[in-house]
Structures are given as structure tokens and as C-alpha cells.
């Protein structure tokens, strides 16, 4: 069997990594587990990880925020195997995952079943190299996997199989944890909406960036230097960045999407508010103030009242109009 490398990147998700690393070590089908500590506030120490010679711990210093595309491109480039299994810090392979059978049946397999599984994959390195890896213009969280899948299927003509849900174990956690968003309020419902808004705005921004900046095997990616054993840092000026005009448009769309989702204010009205009332994120974190919480508890709830009342009329407004062919049906 071709050598299989497992690749995991972690930034400030120590509790997840330390819980899943022993489960990965118990899986017998890989030749190495490359773990990259992406500038975590508290460095991951080798003695905290399983006493398994297959574990390789690297650290990238100097990164101010999470960037999945850059982090995993770096980690995947460090792996030695001809096959690559990408697993986030909250994931592990279960006994149901038998790579030999999948390798014989196809060249690329992607996660399925939701709850953090979609971003995982088992792939022949040649497939990843043909697509150029992840698009490093994207940042935050969301859409980088869909962008990669589209390039593999549409441009390279590589069919993607689906990893059965039971093959990947996942530690379930909130959108707020996934986005690295600081708690924005005391209530669980409010924090959940902050996480949802952050995730939706990040996904939208990455969709726009992927459209503006298509990625491929010849696109120049970030370069790194090893300044100490297993310690790396990016070379200044090598990180792909959107131009000033495109960056401004994407950040404007990101800002409107976040506050519109959190506050339930239509973007056409939100655009008229002073920037101070609906600011841009600071180092990737949305600063939610007391007036946002006040509106969420008052104006946002009042704005839902007309929708709630209209939804109560479903039974007596008469037969709904026919949907266009192929449109999804409302099964409620």
C-alpha cells in the first residue's frame, strides 16, 4: 500500500487536538501524522502528544490569525506520503475507515455527513498538486473546501467519492468556537447568533475572493523558512493578498453580511449606518458592543413579529401557488 500521511493543523484548539491525537495514534493505517501548531497562543508541546514515532510536530510562528488555506498548504507540503488524509484538530479516523479499499476504488474522497466532516479528505497527492492545493487568497473559515472540490471536478476532471459518515469521528462544537470568535454576550442564543453571523460573512467573503482570484498549480503561494528545528515562519511579502480595490469591496460585503445576519437589518438600510455602529472586524474578531446586544434583544425581535404573524396564516390563506419545475418543496 502507498504510504499515507495524516495532516492536522491547530490554532488555539489544544483541547480538541489533545483529545483526538490519541485516537489518531490508535489507527493503524498511516505512516505519519504531521501536526502543525499555527501560532497558537500556548505552543503545543511534544510531550503532550502520544508517544508515537509517527507524530511530527511543527510550529509556524508569527501568524496573527487563522488562515485555513495557507495553514493546510504548508502542512500538506511537509507530509511525505503519496496519499494524504486531512483531518482537523476535532476529527479522527474511525475503525470504519479502511484506506486500502478506497485507494483501489478512486483517487479522491471527501467528507460527508455534516458536523465538521465536509472539510476532511483522503486524496492522492497527485490530485492535490494538479489543483494547486487550497486558494490562499481565502481567509477565515468556509468555502475553501468547495473551491478545491470544484477545481478538482470541473478543471481536472477528477471524480470525488464520498467518505461515509461513520468513517470520521468529530467533536461537536459551536460556530462561534469554529470561527475563533470571542464571546459576545452572556446568553447562549446570542453567542450562537454571533457565531452564525461570523461564519456566513466569512463564507461570503471567500466566495467573492475565489471568483476574483482563481487558484491553480502555477499560482504563487506563500513561502516559509525554517529558522530553528521544526520552527517556521512565512517569508515577508510572499503571502498572496487581494488588491486594494478588491480587498475593500470584499471587506465591505463581509461587514454588511455579518451585521445584517446578527441584527436582522436589511443591508440596504445597514449601509446607511455610521461605521462605528456596524464596524469592521478587528484582527478577525467582531467587536460586539452593548448597543448591539440591546438591539438584538429589542429591535431584532420586534422585526420578526410580522414574519411570525404571516407564518400563522399558512393554513387559511388558501392553496399555495405552484412552484417552478425542479424547485424544492416545503415539507413542513
List phi, psi (to 5°) of 89. -65, -20
Q: Is residue 166 within 8 Å of 219, Cβ to Cβ?
A: no
For residue 330, the model assigns a pLDDT of 46
Question: What confidence tier does 140 reach under pLDDT thresholds 50, 70, 90?
Answer: confident
List phi, psi (to 5°) of 27. -85, 130
One DSSP character per residue, 220-240 reads ----EEEEETTEEEEPTT-S-
For residue 183, the model assigns a pLDDT of 46
Range with lowest mean pLDDT among 16-25, 168-177, 199-208: 168-177
Percentage of the chain lying above the pLDDT 90 cut: 73
For residue 251, the model assigns a pLDDT of 93
- Is the pLDDT at 121 greater than 90? The verdict is yes
Which has more pLDDT, 18 or 328? 18
In whole numbers, what is the pLDDT of the chain averaged over residues? Answer: 89
Domains parsed from the chain with CATH numbers: 4-173 (3.90.550.10), 177-222+241-311 (no CATH)
Give per-residue pLDDT as tens, 16-64: 999 999 999 999 999 999 999 999 999 999 999 999 999 999 999 999 8
Distance of alpha carbon 6 from alpha carbon 122, whole angstroms:
9
The three-class DSSP label of residue 38 is strand
Amino acid at each position: 500500500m502507498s504510504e499515507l500521511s495524516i495532516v492536522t493543523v491547530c490554532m488555539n484548539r489544544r483541547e480538541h487536538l489533545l483529545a483526538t491525537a490519541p485516537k489518531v495514534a490508535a489507527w493503524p493505517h498511516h505512516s505519519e501524522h504531521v501536526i502543525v501548531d499555527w501560532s497558537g497562543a500556548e505552543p503545543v508541546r511534544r510531550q503532550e502528544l502520544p508517544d508515537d514515532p509517527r507524530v511530527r510536530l511543527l510550529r509556524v510562528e508569527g501568524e496573527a490569525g487563522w488562515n485555513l488555506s495557507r495553514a493546510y498548504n504548508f502542512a500538506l507540503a511537509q507530509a511525505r506520503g503519496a496519499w494524504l488524509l486531512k483531518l482537523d484538530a476535532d476529527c479522527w479516523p474511525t475503525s470504519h475507515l479502511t484506506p486500502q479499499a478506497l485507494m483501489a476504488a478512486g483517487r479522491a474522497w471527501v467528507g460527508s455527513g455534516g458536523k465538521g466532516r465536509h472539510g476532511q479528505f483522503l486524496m492522492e497527492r497527485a490530485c492535490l498538486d494538479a489543483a494547486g492545493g487550497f486558494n490562499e487568497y481565502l481567509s477565515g473559515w468556509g468555502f475553501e473546501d468547495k473551491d478545491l472540490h470544484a477545481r478538482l471536478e470541473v478543471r481536472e476532471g477528477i471524480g470525488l467519492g464520498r467518505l461515509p459518515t461513520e468513517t470520521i469521528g468529530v467533536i461537536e462544537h459551536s460556530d462561534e468556537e469554529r470561527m475563533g470568535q470571542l464571546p459576545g454576550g452572556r446568553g447562549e442564543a446570542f453567542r450562537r447568533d454571533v457565531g452564525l453571523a461570523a461564519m456566513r460573512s466569512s463564507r461570503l467573503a471567500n466566495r467573492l475572493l475565489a471568483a476574483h482570484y482563481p487558484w491553480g498549480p502555477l499560482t504563487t503561494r506563500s513561502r516559509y523558512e525554517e529558522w530553528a528545528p521544526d520552527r517556521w515562519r512565512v517569508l515577508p511579502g510572499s503571502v498572496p493578498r487581494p488588491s486594494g480595490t478588491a480587498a475593500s469591496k470584499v471587506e465591505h460585503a463581509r461587514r454588511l453580511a455579518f451585521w445584517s445576519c446578527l441584527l436582522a437589518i436589511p443591508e440596504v438600510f445597514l449601509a446607511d449606518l455610521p461605521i462605528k455602529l456596524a464596524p469592521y472586524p478587528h484582527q478577525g474578531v467582531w467587536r460586539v458592543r452593548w448597543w448591539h446586544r440591546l438591539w438584538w434583544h429589542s429591535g431584532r425581535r420586534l422585526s420578526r413579529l410580522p414574519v411570525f404573524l404571516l407564518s400563522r396564516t399558512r393554513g387559511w390563506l388558501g392553496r399555495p401557488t405552484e412552484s417552478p419545475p425542479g424547485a424544492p418543496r416545503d415539507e413542513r
